[in-house]
């Protein structure tokens, strides 16, 4: 999972930032990326998440916007997780696991606030969703996505 990078983009909630940090640690990611944090998330959420990550010897990276993340990391592929009605494809962990095994750099983007990501942000990668009836929120989606991927990487 060293070539997998997870981004929480456009977040306003302190709790959502902290929850995503705990999720990243729980699934063994070496870092978590926050882009376009605003309001309480920027003022309190990021410092709280940074403490959580630092205690586990993990890193928290913060960027002003999603294009900055892409410019710095230069991922081979970008998957933007959106509600089912906006997705072009359904999430397939087997394909992504194979790409990670090939040492391809993969970026997962989760929208951190409602209603989610803009059309411009969705166009930065492949829009995918889980096979669910309704949106389950970014933390729920990230948990399922990472869990399913981890099963195929064993």
Domain extent for 128: 4-153
> Does residue 115 register a pLDDT over 80?
no
> Does residue 30 register a pLDDT over 90?
yes
Q: Which CATH number fits the domain that encloses residue 54?
A: 3.40.1280.10
In this predicted model, what pLDDT tens digit does every residue of 129-143 receive, in sequence order?
A: 999 988 899 999 999
Pull the structure tokens for residue 61: 């990276």
Q: Across the chain, what does the average pLDDT equal?
A: 95
Pull the structure tokens for residue 48: 């709280």
The residue with greater pLDDT, 115 or 65, is 65
Which residues lie closer than 8 Å to 66 by C-beta, 6 or more apart? 7, 9, 35, 36, 109, 121, 124
What integer pLDDT is reported at residue 133 of this predicted model? 86
Pull the structure tokens for residue 119: 């059309």
Name the domain count of the chain. 1
In this predicted model, what pLDDT tens digit does every residue of 35-71 receive, in sequence order?
A: 999 999 999 999 999 999 999 999 999 999 999 999 9
């Amino acid at each position: 999972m060293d070539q997998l990078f997870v981004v929480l983009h456009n977040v306003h909630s302190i709790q959502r930032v902290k929850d995503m940090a705990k999720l990243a640690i729980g699934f063994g990611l070496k870092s978590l990326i926050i882009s376009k944090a605003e309001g309480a998330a920027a003022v309190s959420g990021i410092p709280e998440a940074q403490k959580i990550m630092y205690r586990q010897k993990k890193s928290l990276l913060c960027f002003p916007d999603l294009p900055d993340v892409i410019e710095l990391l230069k991922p081979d592929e970008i998957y933007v997780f959106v509600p089912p009605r906006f997705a072009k494809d359904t999430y397939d962990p087997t394909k992504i696991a194979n790409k990670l095994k090939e040492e391809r750099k993969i970026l997962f983007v989760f929208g951190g606030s409602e209603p989610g990501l803009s059309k411009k942000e969705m166009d930065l990668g492949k829009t995918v969703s889980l096979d669910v009836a309704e949106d389950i929120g970014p933390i729920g989606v990230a948990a399922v996505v990472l869990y399913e991927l981890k099963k195929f990487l064993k």
